[in-house]
Structure 1
């Protein structure tokens, strides 16, 4: 789920720092599990199954094992850790929604280190607009423990409002926040070779994992690629990319759970036209380890992140089909500025020089085009509520979807 350009992109795996002995042992155990899955499946598994195991295999996958992922000592830094102003702007967007709904919770998917939850609760308390409950859906026991520690240290008086979930709630009313979640959903990779659609499988040659392209078997993949060919092709004679079929399933499940509320999806990605541009012939898959980026998903499985950009057109399309209406689509920079980022910075104490300078640096990273400002987008979805979302008032790019 990282900010891609916070890493040193283009590194060869040979130049990456070596994991410690404990981390290598975790990777080797996960590798053995993946190899067994390949053998049990007749010698190959679809790429999305491999990615699922690499990221989420119980006790061993990247997001559920115990390695540190967030912050300077981890593999990447997310926007909430860049600056507390990120959450304060988000709180200004959530407050009028919470005020309008008779009973409203916040549901955060994948709360990372817990910094966003703590910052949001602090900011909403200052606005006198706390949610009834702050729900966190977290699949990692290690991250859940870290989130509890963060919240206990930062907002002990508000901890009683926090509830951890293991599954999507059956019914929900309020605000849903998913910051850098969709990019971490397993994807199906494909190749178009001289007009023929092939699916990426993962095989083991006796020494290492490798990609192998074969006739598609994943339900829905071939039809999805044919639609892309018809709409955005013709593609090059050899064209690689990916389709996130699980994204659609997740949004449909969310639509079934929400009776009334607003969803904010914050991630890096493109519209479909940009994502599947004929010149983007290698797809968007990227791996992250110790703030370095490279393109080999089979290197150190379980201790590096594997991620892809988000297709926001696909997300918006399935959302509308599932009963949501579009509340807006814009860049992270415009969303934060529309929610008062400049005034929040101006209100900081100029006599606290160190903090003021830190906030200024954070604002630059959150908003500059070469940093997070334009590469990250915000998609707003509404269900059962009529409200103009102020985060999209400065610039709404729904026409690009």
Structure 2
């Protein structure tokens, strides 16, 4: 399953390399969060990275060649492998601010004279946009948490605007302006549109849907649904914009150098995209649904937990997950339960929701771990029946 195809070696204990350091591995039912390591890489990716580690290569040449192949795979003009989606956001901000600079290079001394405003829906103001500020940009919020009007966006875009940033998460204020309207406003003012789509896979079509809509660059995490290296990302977009991003990136001695993607990351990300596009995503979703059904069945005769199936994952992507709600529990009981799961071996990490609610994401579970989770829940909650 996505995030669950580890490289199995007969006779080897999973997680032993971490236990050797005194760190206990975690059963990840929370989803592809960076703090838990993102996803598990499939054999194809691990082997590709190992092969990349066997010899030296000109990294500029490698990025160019991998970019051409990635662009072909994703139906885009151009592509680039940054050191993560946030690194891609930094480079996209640099490319936006320097679009009128002849050599396209971002220099700190030039910042006062550059367009530095990045317009973003207030409902899209997520913590990860700090990468824009790291590049010297300034986030300018438009609209309200419950939506934005087109005229509000029109007024917000001006001579100081470097770009519009769009975060296409379904649960972030559905009444914000649709992407086609945002692109229309941006093109009217001659400013680029950056889409932060770090966790917006599946569907696989998102790899080209945003750019087909007219955005200049769409950014994806390499270590989430793609199951590539956690320190890799994927930037797809117009050739001119991607070239400006690459011009400020490692391995060149530019401001983006600290966010480097190594040769293993570049090759691993390419292998991950090839692997991801070859998957039967409908079959994967059916597999995820069966895991969710396991939790629904477990709770069927319980009076202390209600389990329902939700059709969207934590980032709004179309991946089902189980919603578990404690019934009649005291305030704070959910947090005590999740803490017990996370701190007592076998450690299990689940996602907290509203008061008394938590979620199990199937896409990061290794087969059989769903049964382990329900056994632990039964042990902590009791049998829960009359």
Pairwise same-fold verdict (TM > 0.5): no
Structure of higher CA gyration radius:
2
Q: TM-score, normalising length from structure 1? A: 0.30
Q: TM-score, normalising length from structure 2? A: 0.31
